[in-house]
A and B are shown apart, each in its own frame.
Chain A
Amino acid sequence: MMNQKKKLAVVGAGMVAHRLVEAMVERGADEAWDIEVFGDETRPPYDRVALTSFFSDRDPEDLLLGDGELWKRPGVRLYRGSIVSGIDREAKQIHARNTTFDYDRLVLATGSYATVPPVEGSDLPGCFVYRTVDDVAELRAWVLDREAVLGRKVKGAVVGGGLLGLEAAGALTALGADTTVVEFADWLMPLQVDQAGGGALRRIIEQLGVSVRTSTATSKLRAGRDGKVTRMQFADGDKIPADVVVFATGVRPRDELAREAGLELGERGGVLADEACLTSDDSIFAIGEVAHIAGRVWGLVGPGYSMAEVVADRLLGGDATFEGADLSTKLKLLGVDVASFGDAFAATNGSLEVVYADPTAGVYKKLVMSDDAQTLLGGMLVGDASAYTNLRPMVGRALGSDPTAWLLPEGMEPPSGSSLPDDANVCSCNNVTAGTIRGAVTDHQCTDIAAVKQCTKAGTSCGSCVSLVKKLMETQMAEEGLEVSTALCEHFSVTRAQLFDIVRVSEISTFSELIEKHGTGRGCDICRPVVASILGSLGKGHVLEGENATLQDTNDHVMANLQKDGTYSVVPRIPGGEVTPAGLIAIGQVASDFGLYTKITGGQRIDLFGARIEQLPEIWKRLVDAGFESGHAYGKSLRTVKSCVGQSWCRYGVQDSTTLAIDLELRYRGLRSPHKLKLAVSGCARECAEARGKDVGIIATDKGWNLYVGGNGGFTPRHAQLFAEDLSTEELVRAIDRFLMYYIRTADRLQRTAPWLESIEGGIDAVRAVVFDDSLGIAADLDAAMAAHVDTYEDEWAATLADEKKLLRFASFVNAPETPDPDLVYVEERGQRRPADDEERAVLIAGASIPVRDAEVTV
């Protein structure tokens, strides 16, 4: 039988096309439709909104939308690098890749292109627009190359002081260029904020070292002798040097295909479509930035996503409509908050404006209220947009209290999760209401933020709504009687962070006292090691001291790593991976004398496997005598600081990465934490130490060190994110001290730094504020805690060897302390031994006379 599926062709593979296909698949529409998507970019759809993060997070792969599985489904095809050159509406065909494709329904999702004003010289080499990953990659390469050729800072000019222009200015500044923003209007971001707001914005941006020229028209660009752009000239005759120019003067819908095919267009461009997103041809839809619906084109992703949902519904026979959308925006430009929402310009008759301005702090806030001062109509926030998340869903509703209170620096108590009505839009990017989030808890059993995000898509685009989403989820869970389970385990009803504080501020230094006062029962394999770790972080005694010993997992208890057969592995610390030949020989000699399997680890050191419990002290005595100390391969604590060879030998190295790695490893060795900690230091941007895969990664620059945090390998790999740039060694160490201590205090049990950063309110920015601006006033405390750790560190193994009583723990049997476990069986492989597997055991134990297979042994 012939395939009965109908054909859907989608032109344009951008953000909105992606959402359309995703929505189709979610609703099972791919059963009835074969979907073909054509995009002229070479990448699968990516997050254009986050384009600027490409500068701090340089892997374009990180920007891709979804996990890529979407494009591998049967019935879904993505043609990348394929421009659609024409539509034949008669034949219902489109032309691409020198061939024609049939369609039953066609969706235009071609987005916009960046416009370039008619300025002489705007096509000179060195002039860019800011729309695609390729634009940004070329811009970056250009700036770095010019800097190298000119041997000085690059001069950058951005034409356009709107949302995109300021993003571009941020990007240029991040690349180290001296940047000037040129705006034709009288103030910056004229579409989002009023003159006073624009003025506040300008002051903040100028303080960041970006020059601003408003009321200025660019008239000409001049090339130097090498043919590359070098100077920008203004209509008033003034000129400035410019080695790179970015045009961010606006976007225009890419409606040329529709125009040629004779579809109706809006007056100022855009493919005219009705509230079903249908164009003047009822087989063709238009969605996203190319569509002109309800009287306008919509230049934000949120409305585009709503249109995608409408079309998915229509293709399944539904009757969803698009009737306009929220054009609120919040962004962080050059680290400055700007938000604008609802009727920000007070266009409503009789509306009142409530303004709060603090020029010294660089803050300007305005609320637009209805004539009776009761209902919030809109507003704008410059410099501090923390109230945005809570205010935006209140648009059209009574604020219920003195509106000025919302504008004060401390902000008002935000509406608690339960006071927000079900239909209030919480996530404007993805159009998710408070009711939907509550439903995720009640109907879909979501009980953590990750599940709610996945289920509702709230918070998955710009991320500005996440804190509110979380609050709603938690309130709903509490209402359902669901425990917002922050309890550590059945014995302690508090979180690890709370327990940490209890121990820190109280005099308690034993588990029994802690559980008696703050818990119940005898504890378990969850809370005992947590308490051990907390006591360890706070320097309350040797891990094997007194009662502490009963809290330790076997790894911590015997200071080695348990293996599958009950023996242990031994890992001496090799700071930064640097070891002398004599050290190597000493380790080799120990391994050889005790018959230990030897392997180089993934952490730049050596692991010796197969040590029996009663052998550990003897082995360690030899290692300590040879100058080694515990490597803490066991325990939740610092593992390794991986290094690259760096400046000392490498022809590219710009700093001494090995010395720094060693210093850091010695500084943080033995530091007990919620999970293990890994660091790395690379001597240049080639990144041979894979620092961005570590909890703390450091990459040398010619000015100092760039610090990255929150990297993880393991089950869910994450790249570390840029935390601070060009730090001196001293600044770097202080920043790491505080970062680690803050993590140790506040993270959950077994939470690595990446999920911790995600879980913390305000995310990485909040942590940055704690570390660099002392926003919580605890910096001195954190510094003191780390200093105490550094001062009191002692090698656990050396201390154990010096204490007869502690050595008793290494007896194999209490009544036969030196008798080896008689059940251990080994076979040889590649010249070393390893534990025998079940089959080999059967043979070796029973003797060679028993057949290898079907051996049935009864003991």
Chain B
Amino acid sequence: MTEWQRVCELEALVPDRGAAALVGGHQVALFRLSDSGEVHAVDHLDPFSQANVMARGLVGSRKGVPTVASPMHKQSFDLRTGQCLDDPEVSLQVWPTRVADGWVEVQVVARSRAA
């Protein structure tokens, strides 16, 4: 079943700066890119440090790939796929997003994570 959760107005997201959100009990990091206008959502949990900080990372690009770098120890992740670009074994979960009526919505999906 797909369920979309309304999170915030698009205008509440500063371009190229992340924001954390609570979506269905999960901590999600939202990014609105200045050039493409796209909104991406990935885990807020940094898999390396186990701290909820990804939304506070710097947005950028690597060889054209839109990225966010963990503010803790600077590993970069592909914002579109969640893949860590510095370690092929690690990735962030990606959450589908859409903008409806000026509101950002995130699809609530079951989280698959083994501890």
The reply to whether the CB of A859 lies closer than 8 angstroms to some CB of chain B is: yes
Q: Evaluate contact between A816 and B22: CB separation under 8 angstroms.
A: yes
Q: How large is the interface on B (under 10, 10 to 19, 20 to 34, 35 or more residues)?
A: 35 or more
- Report Cα–Cα, A524/B35, bound state, in Å: 14
- Interface digits, B62-83 against A, CB 8 Å rule (1 contact, 0 not)? 1110110101101010000000
B49 lies within 8 A of A522 (CB): no
In Å, the complex CA distance between A812 and B22 comes to 10
With a CB–CB cut-off of 8 A, which chain B residues contact A264?
none
Residues B114 and A858 in contact, CB atoms below 8 Å apart: yes
In the complex, the answer to whether A813 meets B22 with C-beta atoms within 8 Å is yes
- CB nearest neighbor in B for A812: B20
B52 touches A859 (CB 8 A): no
Chain B residues with Cβ below 8 Å from A578 are: none
The reply to whether A565 and B58 form a contact with Cβ atoms under 8 Å apart is no
- Chain A residue contacts of B45, Cβ below 8 A: 823
Q: List 20 A-B contacts (CB under 8 A).
A: A490-B63, A491-B60, A521-B61, A524-B76, A525-B60, A549-B17, A554-B53, A554-B57, A554-B71, A558-B56, A809-B17, A811-B19, A813-B19, A814-B21, A823-B52, A856-B115, A857-B115, A858-B114, A858-B115, A859-B115
B99 on the A face (CB < 8 A): no
A802–B106 Cα distance when bound, in Å, is 33
Contact code string A793-828 (vs B, CB < 8 Å = 1, else 0) = 000000000000000110111111001010100000
| Assembled-state Cα–Cα distance A812/B8 (Å) | 14
**Nearest A residue to B9, CB-CB:** A814
* A815 pairs with B52, CB closer than 8 A: no
A783 sits at the interface (CB 8 A): no
Q: Smallest distance from the beta carbon of A50 to chain B beta carbons, Å?
A: 40
On whether the beta carbons of B62 and A524 are closer than 8 Å, the reply is yes
B90 CB within 8 Å of chain A? no
Contact B71 A550 (CB under 8 A): no
Instruction: Indicate which residue in B22, B113, B115 contacts A815 across the interface (CB closer than 8 Å).
Output: B22
Asked if B49 and A529 make an inter-chain contact with CB atoms under 8 angstroms apart, the answer reads no
Smallest CB–CB gap between B46 and chain A, Å? 8
- Determine whether A225 belongs to the interface, using a CB cutoff of 8 Å to chain B: no
Q: B30: CB under 8 A from chain A?
A: yes
Contacts of A435 on B, CB cut-off 8 Å?
none
Answer yes or no: B92 CB below 8 A from chain A CBs. Answer: no
Is the CB of B51 closer than 8 A to any CB of chain A?
yes
CB-CB contacts below 8 Å: A807-859 with B: 808-809, 811-816, 819, 821, 823, 856-859
For B76, give its contact among A491, A525, A558, A857 (CB under 8 Å).
A525
Checking B14, B51, B67, B114 against A549 with a beta-carbon cut-off of 8 angstroms, the contacting residue is B14
Residues of chain A whose beta carbon lies under 8 Å from any beta carbon of chain B? 490-491, 512, 521-525, 528-529, 547, 549-551, 553-554, 557-558, 562, 564-566, 613, 808-809, 811-816, 819, 821, 823, 856-859
Contact of B21 among A522, A815, A823, A857 (CB under 8 A): A815
Interface residues of B (CB under 8 A from A): 7-8, 12-17, 19-22, 27, 30, 33-35, 45, 49, 51-53, 56-64, 66-67, 69, 71-72, 74, 76, 111, 113-115
Asked, given contacts A528-B60, A550-B14, whether A814 binds B51 with beta carbons under 8 Å apart, the answer is no
Asked if A524 and B61 make an inter-chain contact with CB atoms under 8 angstroms apart, the answer reads yes
Cβ–Cβ contact B56 & A554, under 8 A: yes
| Known contacts A521-B61, A522-B66, A553-B58, A814 near B19 by CB under 8 Å | yes
Contacts of B16 in A (CB 8 A): 522, 547, 550
A814 to B66, CA, bound (A): 22
Since A550-B14, A550-B58 are in contact, a sample of 15 more A-B pairs with Cβ atoms closer than 8 Å, ordered by chain A residue number, is A490-B63, A522-B35, A523-B60, A525-B60, A525-B74, A549-B14, A550-B17, A550-B34, A564-B49, A564-B51, A566-B51, A813-B19, A816-B22, A821-B52, A823-B52
**Known A524-B67, A554-B57; contact A565-B22, beta-carbon cutoff 8 A:** no
A814 close to B58 (CB less than 8 A): no
Contact flag A550-B59 (CB < 8 Å), given A525-B76, A816-B22: yes
Known: A524-B60, A821-B27, A821-B52. A815 touches B8 (CB 8 A): yes
Instruction: List, in ascending order, chain B residues with CB within 8 A of A565's CB.
Output: 51
In the complex, chain B residues whose CB is within 8 Å of the CB of A814: 7-8, 12-13, 19-21, 30
In whole angstroms, what is the CA distance A523 to B49 when docked?
A: 24
Distance in angstroms from B62 CB to nearest chain A CB is 7
Q: Within the complex, which residue of A490, A558, A859 is in contact with B113, where a contact is CB–CB below 8 Å?
A: A859
Which residues on the B side are within 8 Å of A562 (C-beta)?
Answer: 53, 56, 71-72
Task: Given A524-B61, A814-B8, A823-B52, verify A550-B114 contact (CB < 8 Å).
Answer: no
How close is B6's CB to chain A, nearest CB, in angstroms?
8
Let me know if A521 and B51 touch, CB within 8 A: no
The answer to whether B20 touches A813, judged by C-beta atoms less than 8 angstroms apart, is: yes
In the A-B complex, the 4 residue pairs with the smallest Cβ-Cβ separation, listed nearest first, are: A524-B60, A566-B51, A522-B61, A525-B69
Chain B residue contacts of A812, Cβ below 8 A: 20
Q: How far is the CB of B9 from chain A (nearest CB, A)?
A: 9
User: A550: which B residues are within 8 A, CB to CB?
Assistant: 14-17, 34, 58-59
Q: Are A528 and B58 in contact (CB under 8 A)?
A: yes
Among B21, B49, B60, chain A packs the most CB atoms within 10 A around the CB of B60
Q: Assuming the A-B contacts A528-B58, A557-B56, A814-B30, are A819 and B22 also in contact, with contact meaning beta carbons closer than 8 angstroms in the complex?
A: yes
